[in-house]
Amino acid sequence: MTVTSGMISDVRASLGLAGPVEQTRVVVAMSGGVDSSVAAGLVKAAGFDTVGITLQLYDHGAAVAKRGACCAGQDIHDARRVASDLGIPHYVLDFEDRFRETVIDDFADSYLRGETPVPCIRCNQTVKFADLLARARDLGASALVTGHYIESRALAGGRRGLYVPADVARDQSYFLFATTQDQADFLRFPLGSIAKAQTRALAVAMGLAVAEKPDSQDICFVPEGRYADLVLKLRPEAAQEGEIVHVDGRVVGRHAGVIHYTIGQRRGLGVDQGIEQAEPLYVIALEPERARVVVGPRAALRRHVLTLGEVNWLGDVPLDETPRPVMARIRSTRAPVAATVCRAGAGTVVDLAGGEEGVSPGQACVFYDGAGAGARLLGGGFIRV
């Protein structure tokens, strides 16, 4: 696959920027991975004044770093090399303190509250789409481009909307629900209309050294996925022992800290084997204020009504007290389901038509106007109860 004239036209159209292309500056967030590298290559090939920026988010030699994580040592080197190959200027910005305060500390505190956080959302919400976007504007950019798989389309009135990409299997809209309207107007996503396999092929055609680089896995700052180790290091008080209680009130075991459990967990509960053999048990709720883990049958996991906080709404008509039909997604790996959403007092309430299992505080509930490629992202919020 090569970058054809038709593809260049598509990139220019997707960015939708006025003025002469060669005089229009575009900043590309480069993580050192294949996606952001190809995004930078497409913007450069389309003739824009392209500038690459990489954020150093933590000390790559520290205990929280791991191989394959974004925005650490090797990845900064890879981003710099790609920028050199493309012939574009490249800058590395030290955002370690900001990342620690807004993402890592929030991650640890969220587990202390018995929640299951989604740090990638916080990172996009604060460091990437607030701080980095501000730097892009300081550089005179007309847009900030990232390698996310999501589409940006022009709306009536000059604003822009966000949509599920062509490659639904790579859809990252769940992690971008907190994008404000002003941010959405400035952001662009040239990979939204192509498949991941095409991205890889383009990386090869461009001669990028990262063409075969594996995608990062798990949470970038958690070594080997052992999130509890990181939380205990940052918040030693999280190692508070307590009781494991059945929903019927029986004490069925003990635990070494609620941070070792998540809603819907089936294995490694630490429950008396005789009880578990008689009835498959799942984590139903976490009560950190009482140092309790509540377990019960699978049926007890199903929830119909959720209360959300920190709601960001991108729909054309504001939310009010009238229930509005949407498609709602409560985890990034699940398909959206039919639901209604409305304001209720100071909060926002979601009613899931068929209910969902494993709903966990701290996760996001994200809204769409439909399902599948082309569905518009309407916003979302963090699940509270």
Least confident stretch, 5-9, 167-171, 272-276, 379-383? 272-276
- The pLDDT value recorded for residue 60 is 45
User: Annotated active-site positions, please?
Assistant: 123, 220
**Is pLDDT of 87 > 60?**
yes
- The pLDDT value recorded for residue 208 is 95
Interhelix angle for 227-234 vs 105-112, to 10°? 90
Distance CA 310, CA 144 (A): 24
**Is pLDDT of 265 > 60?**
yes
- The pLDDT value recorded for residue 175 is 97
**Is pLDDT of 272 > 90?**
no
pLDDT digits (tens, 9 = 90+) for 198-225: 999 999 999 999 999 998 766 888 867 7
Q: Scan for tokens 């055609």, then name that residue.
A: 205
**Is pLDDT of 65 > 70?**
no
pLDDT digits (tens, 9 = 90+) for 101-157: 999 999 999 999 999 999 999 999 999 999 999 999 999 999 999 999 999 999 988
* Secondary structure (H, E, C), the chain: CCCCHHHHHHHHHHHCCCCCHHHCEEEEECCCCHHHHHHHHHHHHCCCEEEEEEEECCCCCCCCCCCCCCCCHHHHHHHHHHHHHHCCCEEEEECHHHHHHHHHHHHHHHHHCCCCCCHHHHHHHHHHHHHHHHHHHHCCCCEEECCCCCEEEECCCCCEEEECCCCHHHCCHHHHCCCCHHHHHHEECCCCCCCHHHHHHHHHHCCCCCCCCCCCCCCCCCHHHCHHHHHHHHCHHHCCCEEEEECCCCEEEEECCHHHCCCCCCCCCCECHHHHHHCCCEEEEEEHHHCEEEEECHHHHCEEEEEEEEEEECCCCCCCCCCEEEEEECCCCCCCEEEEEEEECCEEEEEEEEEECCCCCCCEEEEECCCCCCCEEEEEEEECC
Average pLDDT, the chain: 92
* Secondary structure (H, E, C), 81-101: HHHHHHCCCEEEEECHHHHHH
**Is pLDDT of 62 > 70?**
no
pLDDT digits (tens, 9 = 90+) for 346-362: 889 999 999 999 999 99
pLDDT digits (tens, 9 = 90+) for 150-198: 999 999 889 999 999 999 999 999 999 999 999 999 999 999 999 999 9
- The pLDDT value recorded for residue 67 is 37
pLDDT band at residue 59 under the 50/70/90 scheme:
low
Pick from 366, 323, 347, 337: nearest CA to 120: 366
Q: Read off the pTM.
A: 0.93
**Is pLDDT of 72 > 80?**
no
